[in-house]
Amino acid sequence: MLLGSATVAPELKASAAEPVAAEPPELKRLVERALGSRPDMRATELEFEAAGKRAGLTTAELFTLSAVLDANEKDSGGFEVGPGLQFPIPVLHQNQAARARARAEIERAAWQKVAVRQQIQSDVTGARAELVQAMEALSAWRREIMPPLDEMVEQTTRAYQAKEVSLLAMHIATKKRVTATLRQAELAATARRAQAELERSVGRKLEP
């Protein structure tokens, strides 16, 4: 009604897709995709490049410095401002104040770039862990809970038809399965929400 589609409402059907796989891609691949897809990462890269160009660095020097930052972070498990940031800043007239300001701007941009990288890694790691946990819970429920209940309902139904149990017994068995089915739907919804959050963290949809 709110969408103005009352006339076609009976023809509309809602469906929910299953998670893309029994287990999401490995963490390293997801982080690499996120670093290449997230707009916040690209924004810090552009800011870093702009700071370098304002300082007079060439494209090659910027590329080398960016590689140093990446290697520094990977080797130390984090980021350390140290010898890796000792690079020449070609400011005219050897203006020490301008050199200091240029260095400060580049270091600030470098810290921001690394901070965003680490935030992305944290986002992806947490979201993937949530999805793995949700998918494991859903799989365990389907494997361990639903089959016995389905079998119980079938056996109770046959027993009722043979007049071996009362109608109440069959209703109780059916109610247990319905309750379990609702819980299964909740677990599936949790897995889908976790997948959506992981895709948001990565910056793109997961491949089937």
pTM: 0.72
Q: Report the interhelical angle of 96-140 vs 39-54 (nearest 10°).
A: 170
4: left (phi over 0), alpha (psi -120 to 50) or beta: left
pLDDT digits (tens, 9 = 90+) for 55-82: 777 777 777 777 766 665 555 444 444 4
Over 80: is that where the pLDDT of 32 sits? yes
Closest CA to 55 of 93, 106, 109: 106
The share of the chain scoring above pLDDT 90, in percent, equals 50
Over 50: is that where the pLDDT of 207 sits? yes
Residue bearing the bigger pLDDT, 87 or 148: 148
CA–CA distance, 27 with 129 (Å, rounded to integer): 9
Confidence of residue 92 (pLDDT cuts 50, 70, 90): very low
Over 50: is that where the pLDDT of 184 sits? yes
Residue bearing the bigger pLDDT, 86 or 166: 166
pLDDT digits (tens, 9 = 90+) for 39-59: 999 999 888 888 888 777 777
